[in-house]
Every structure is written in C-alpha cells, then in structure tokens.
Amino acid sequence: GAVVSQHPSWVICKSGTSVKIECRSLDFQATTMFWYRQFPKQSLMLMATSNEGSKATYEQGVEKDKFLINHASLTLSTLTVTSAHPEDSSFYICSAGGAGIRYNEQFFGPGTRLTVL
Amino acid sequence: AQSVSQHNHHVILSEAASLELGCNYSYGGTVNLFWYVQYPGQHLQLLLKYFSGDPLVKGIKGFEAEFIKSKFSFNLRKPSVQWSDTAEYFCAVNAGQAGTALIFGKGTTLSVSS
C-alpha cells in the first residue's frame, strides 16, 4: 500500500508557541489530505479536508485561524497549531488519498503527539 | 450526514473465544467500509475494507467482516482470538465518491486474557 509519513512524531512545546506538523505522501500523489485529532482512548475526529492548491474545508467547531492547514503540493500538507494551549494537547493524524487511489481509499500517517505545557 | 455506531464499548474475552464487533452506519448512498485496529501506543492499521462485490471480506490476522446492506451493518468477526488481539478497533465509512473523509465510530476496546 501507499505510504504516508508525519513529522515530527512527537513534540512538546510551551503554551503560546506555534507548532507545525508535516504530512507527506511518499510514493503517490495525494490530491486530498485529511487531518484528524484523537484524544486519549477516544475515536478520531475529522478536523479538516484539504485539496491541493485550494483552501481547506474545516469541520464545524474547528477554529480555522488556530489550526492552519496548507496543502501546497501533491505530496505535502502541513498543520500549524498557532498559539498552542494545553487543551490543544492531542494526537494528530493525517491521511491522504488521491485521484489514482482506488475506491477513495485513504492511507494514514503514524500520527504526531503534541503536548503543550 | 454520515454516522457510524459501534455498539460495544469494551469487550473482554478469553483466548480462543470467538469475536464479533458490531458496526452500523447511516448513509443512503454508496459507501466504502473499513475496520482499523490500533494497538496500544501504535498508529492505525487497516484490518480490512469493503468497496463492492462479495459482501464477506477477509482481512489480515484472521479477521473478516460481512457487509449486510439491508441492515446497514459491517460487523467484524474472528473465530478464535489471541492475547495479541488486545487493541482498540474502529469501524469507519466514507461515501463512494473521491475526496470524502472517513467517519469513524467511537471504537471498541478488546481485552483478551490468556
């Protein structure tokens, strides 16, 4: 299957700072990437959908000014958590799909654990 | 809007017992269906998927699932569980057209005692 990487795998930052998380499709072109958030022992909640070259579509309740998503190329999407606070601590997971991927299947990255002190 | 319901929050089994985890979805159109597993401290892994064709799909590690369209269900089964199957299991669905996100159920925690 296709491979999706995320960097960093974990990050600890101080409250008020910004953190950027990268999601890369390594062996296919991802026309669409998705960002999810997972709280401990809970399910994945969709945050936003991004299509290459256009603005991301955010789910209801997700602050677009706080969670900046950029999908500038067919292999890279970034999520920037601006002015992070302890309540933003979570596991962030991206997935990627593409026009050449069968049946709208998506491939998940390994996730990034963010801890805000 | 699509939604996914997993009926079992926490299932506790002994090794060699049979497993069935329920999953129901609500969506009127064509759907793709998935089961993912998340072992403690690890990331999501795809167990199996259904797109079309034979409604009984077989996945990795001896898991299978059956799509029953009339019941909007996609239950996961394994005839004999092992201690190593202890994990969180997520059912997910997306619409048939490209570019739609996966909607996940709340997950089922499976604990297998040896």
| Of the partner residues A31, A34, A111, the one whose CB lies closest to the CB of residue B101 | A34
What residues in B contact A97, CB-CB < 8 Å? 98-99
Is A108's CB within 8 Å of B43's CB? yes
| pLDDT computed for residue A9 by the predictor | 94
With a cut of 70, which residues of chain A have pLDDT below it? 1, 99-104
Å between B12 CA and nearest CA of chain A: 16
Query: How far is residue A102 from each of residues A12, A18, A99, B13, B50, measured CA to CA in Å?
Result: 37, 36, 8, 36, 12
Q: How many of the other CB atoms lie within 10 Å of CB of A16?
A: 10
Task: Tell me which residue of B104, B97, B77, B94 sits closest to B6, measured CA to CA.
Answer: B104
Closest chain B C-alpha to A32 CA, distance in angstroms: 6
SS3 A6: strand
Kindly report the backbone phi and psi dihedral angles of residue B71, in degrees, each rounded to the nearest multiple of 5, phi listed first: -105, 0
pLDDT at B21: 97
Chain B residue numbers touching A49 (CB-CB < 8 A): 99, 101
Which residues on B lie below 8 Å from A108 (Cβ)?
36, 43-44, 46
Q: Please tell me which residue of chain B has the smallest CA distance to A48.
A: B101
Which residues of chain B fall below pLDDT 70?
98
Residue A103 confidence (pLDDT):
56
Using a CB-CB distance cutoff of 8 angstroms, which residues of chain B are in contact with residue A109? 43
The predicted pLDDT at position A49 comes to 92
The reported pLDDT for the residue numbered A30 is: 85
Cα–Cα distance measured from residue A101 to residue A105, given in angstroms and rounded to the nearest whole number:
6
Range B57-66, long-range pairs (CB < 8 A, 24+ positions)? B59/B35, B61/B85, B63/B35, B65/B33, B65/B35
